[in-house]
Structure 1
Amino acid sequence: MGEAVYTPLGDGRFEPGELSRGPWSPDHQHGGAPAALLAGAIEATGEPSPMRVARLTLDLLRPVPIAPLQVATEVVRPGRKVQVVAASLSCDGEEVVRAQALKIRSAPGESERQGFGPAPEPGPQEAPDPVEFDAGLLGGPMFGGAAMEIRLSAGKERWETPGPSMAWTRLLAEIVAGEEPSPLQRAVATADFANGTSSVLDWKEHAFINPDLTVVLGREPRGEWIGLDAVSSISDDGSGMATGTLFDADGRFGVSAQALYVSGIGR
């Protein structure tokens, strides 16, 4: 992997790089970047018993600037079977993202795997070439394309084409410099692309921004490639939703949901 999305500064502080940039402003991050950063912080917080994150919910309280950030975590509910961990991301003392995760104890062999189904076809290697994003529109690279490779595999052939779509994704950069991205970080980063992957509006004319993200994982994902089958629905009152099914080479492992704020560009 090449350049990282964030550089650790010590004491829970991180410096975001250009790879964190989102599609709506040259000064703000893509939601998948801070979502993955907080996911890693949450995984590192809690009691030492074997646990995995089964649900992660994030509220993006305001646009996340491309500026030094402070991460804080707290165990809300300790326990050996179930834990709840909260996390926040702040810039200059102002909270910009709030997250809460439900962890469930991991006990291999306790139950038999069933109900997840096979992975959709085609696989990532058979899917078309990666989507190319125009970095010149915002004056530099963006999280989508530069840090995250996206290959549309079904539903539509072009990113700009409206409608539901299926895609394979993989991280091209470390989330935190010097750290291998975890399966959870890969899944969360992918999930935040549901609204873009399945957009029904022209993103050059409309903003369809998700102020939140919820991911539920029935099992831990495997491998570098994460798949997303996404659908967007837009209401007539300036709101909507994007939902997704998450899968890897072994089949379905989770679902995601985003509420959407919709408006014309510049309004």
Structure 2
Amino acid sequence: MQASFTRDGEFLVPSPVAASPWSDEMLNGHHMGGLIGWGVQHDGADPEFQLSRMTVDMVRAVPMVPLLVETRRTRDGRRLRAVDVSVRAGDIEVLRGSAVLLRRSEHPDSGPWTPEPWDVPAPESIEGGPTGPMTWEVRRINEWGAPGPGRVWLRETADFVAGEPLTPLLRASLMADFTNPLSNSGPDGLAFINTDVTMYLARDPRGEWIGLESAGHLGADGVAFGTTWMYDRDGLIGHCVAGALPDPRIRERMREERR
């Protein structure tokens, strides 16, 4: 499949596969997370440091034009690094994010509560369908709207930037945005758009497949958020939170698709 972006000097140029399902002129939220992750990664990858937290602020619709990704290291300590990322279309900042990276060290021998191990079918045991123009594959562990938490396996199927390896950090960054449709959907489908997403990782994912499980939705007066647990084949690796606002256009489009 075609890569999501190609380089043109300092710029990343989106290809058609990076477009949103809502508009061919707007970048998909999936790739917004990828841009922030790509920026953090290119600030200066260091194997001694683990991405602990990454936040993506979706301040505007990101147009399908050449984009400039700029980074600024705001803290460079012995145990903690902080990075800000700004994505610009011309003179306008269309996306921004931030990240905190922590130095890996010996882990304490303690026993805080954690969820039970994820006991779900392996992705290859679940029938997968065509992905169409999307650059990622979704294998549903349970059906949308079924009782209980939504669960899926996801994997990226295209290069993010042509000619560059798809790193574990990028794989996780790309899938964090799926927190919104997974945790903010109900029996009647999705009624929310997300305004941001924050991902916490204890370690990088291993392998291609990333699992997400809804950890719940909370909302009042049109302000909401949803959360997910993030997994790989070996177990729990992180947690994601997506703030959300209702958008009647989504509900209307879903009604039209059912007709």
Check whether the contact 1:163–1:232 (CA below 8 A) recurs between aligned residues: no
Higher relative helix content: 2
The match for 1:27 is: 25
Gaps of 5+ in 2: 253-259
Paired residue secondary structure (1:179): coil
Residues 116-265 of structure 1: pairs in structure 2 closer than 5 A: 118-130=117-129, 141=133, 146-154=134-142, 156=143, 159=144, 164-198=149-183, 199-200=185-186, 202=188, 207-231=191-215, 233=217, 235-265=219-249
Check whether the contact 1:53–1:101 (CA below 8 A) recurs between aligned residues: yes
CA distance in 1, matches of 2:64, 2:90: 12
The match for 1:51 is: 49
CA distance in 1, matches of 2:22, 2:218: 18
Residues 87-102 of structure 1: pairs in structure 2 closer than 5 A: 87-102=85-100
Task: Say how many residue pairs are matched.
Answer: 247
Paired residue secondary structure (1:235): strand
CA distance in 2, matches of 1:52, 1:184: 9
Paired residue secondary structure (2:181): helix
Check whether the contact 1:128–1:153 (CA below 8 A) recurs between aligned residues: no
Deviation (angstroms), 1:120? 2.9
Q: 2:17 corresponds to which letter in structure 1?
A: L
Residues 259 and 125 of structure 1: is their aligned pair in 2 closer, same or farther, counting only changes over 3 Å?
A: same
Deviation (angstroms), 1:20? 1.1
The match for 1:138 is: none
The match for 2:81 is: 83
Check whether the contact 1:238–1:263 (CA below 8 A) recurs between aligned residues: no
Deviation (angstroms), 1:79? 1.6
Paired residue secondary structure (2:169): helix
RMSD of aligned alpha carbons: 2.6
Q: 1:177 corresponds to which letter in structure 2?
A: A
Check whether the contact 2:62–2:94 (CA below 8 A) recurs between aligned residues: yes
Is residue 2:2 matched to residue 1:3? yes
Structure 1 outlier segments of 4+, above 4 Å: 46-49, 112-117, 159-163
Check whether the contact 1:46–1:75 (CA below 8 A) recurs between aligned residues: no
Gaps of 5+ in 1: 136-140
TM-score computed with the length of structure 1 as normaliser: 0.83
Check whether the contact 1:58–1:214 (CA below 8 A) recurs between aligned residues: yes
TM-score computed with the length of structure 2 as normaliser: 0.86
Q: Sequence identity of aligned pairs in percent?
A: 33
Residues 219 and 38 of structure 1: is their aligned pair in 2 closer, same or farther, counting only changes over 3 Å?
A: same
Paired residue secondary structure (1:178): coil
CA distance in 1, matches of 2:137, 2:83: 30
Moved more, 94-103 or 20-29: 20-29
Check whether the contact 1:47–1:80 (CA below 8 A) recurs between aligned residues: no
Q: 1:5-40 CA deviation, whole Å, 9 max, x = no partner?
A: 0111122x1100111122322211111202112212
Deviation (angstroms), 1:177? 0.8
